[in-house]
Amino acid sequence: MPNAINYAQKYQTELDQVIKQATLTNDLETPSVNWMGARTFHVPSLAVSGYKQHSRNGGFNRGSVNVTHEPYTLQFDRDVEFFVDQMDVDESNQAASAANVTRVFLNENAGPEIDAYRFSKLAAKAKDVGQDTAENVTEGTPKDVFDRLKADIKKVRKYGTANLKVYVSTDVMDAVESYKEGKGNFSLQNENTNIETRVTVIDGVKLIEVFDVDRFHTAFDFTDGFVPAVDAQQLNWIIVYRGAVIAKAKLNSVYLFQPGQHTEGDGYLYQNRLYHDLFVLKNQAKGVVVSNKAPDTGA
C-alpha cells in the first residue's frame, strides 16, 4: 500500500503561500524561537544598570547585568478532518479534490481564523495594561478620526516608525482616505495578496486595512471555527510594535489519505492541524495600543 501524501512536507511552500495570501498578520510572525519543552519556549531579556557619578580619584562604578528567561506556552491547538467520497471528486470534475479542499479551507477558514485569534489576543493584552480605548471614532469627521489615530500612534512612536504596524477597520481607512484628499502626502495601494485591502503610510507608519469585519473584534468564540463572542466589540485599530510580540506556529500538518489507505470509507480523507499562538512580551506590553467601538448602551 502506498504511503499517504503528507501535504505539509510535499507542498509546504505552496501551502505557506496560500496561508500568507489569506492573512493580514504575516508581518508579526516570528522566524524562530528557542523551544524548552513540548510546547514551551523562552525569550531572554537583558537589563543593565545606568551611569553613576564618576570619581576623579580613579576607578569606575560597577554596574549590573541581569538576564532573565521568560517562558511562554502555546495553547491554541486546532484541527479539522474532511471526508470526500471518490465519486464526489469524479462527478464534480475534480472540484472536490484534495488540492481544492485545501485551498478553500486555508483561504476561507484557516487564514481568517489566524488573524482573528491574533487580533483578539492583542486586544486582550492592551486592555490588561490600560492601553485600550472604547470610542466611536467614526462618528466624527475624517479629521477627528485621523487626529485620534495619530494620537495613539504617538504613544508608541518611541519604538521607531518602521517597527510599527497599524491594523485599521474599513471605516477608519475610508476616513483616512477621505482626509488625505488634497493633502498630497499619502499613497494608498493594494497588498500583494488574494484578499483586497488597502495600505497607506502615515508619518512612516504602515496602515493595513482589515476589510473583513468578522475577524476584527476584541474576542471570539472558537468552538466551531470562529465567531465574535457575545460581549465582543468591533475594533477601530490595533497598533503593534513588532518587537513586543511573539507569533509562532510549532506544528502545521496537512495529510491526505487516498481511498484504500484508511478505514473511513471509499474516498479521500483530509486532515489538517495547526498548533500556534501569539504572545505579547511582558516587558514590552506597552507596545500594543487598541481602539475599539464603545458598547451600545441602548440609549
Question: What are the pLDDT digits (tens) for 79-99?
Answer: 999 888 877 666 565 555 666
State the average pLDDT over residues 182-194: 51
Give the span between the Cα atoms of 8 and 252, in whole angstroms: 7
- CATH code for the domain defined by 5-48+64-292: 3.90.1690
In this prediction, residue 297 carries a pLDDT of: 61
What was the pLDDT predicted at 2? 43
Amino acid 77 reads: D
Name the DSSP class of 150.
H
* Higher per-residue pLDDT: 4 or 20: 20
Q: Per-residue pLDDT for 8 more than 50?
A: yes
Q: What is the mean pLDDT of residues 234-242?
A: 96
- pTM of the shown model: 0.83
Taking a C-beta distance cutoff of 8 angstroms, is the pair 282, 244 a contact? no
Q: Is pLDDT larger for residue 214 or for residue 17?
A: 214
Q: What is the mean pLDDT of residues 47-65?
A: 90
Q: Cα(207)–Cα(187) distance, rounded to whole angstroms?
A: 11
Q: What is the mean pLDDT of residues 148-176?
A: 92
More confident residue, 167 or 137: 167
Grid cell for residue 87: 465519486
Rounded to 5°, angle at Cα 46 from 42 and 52:
165
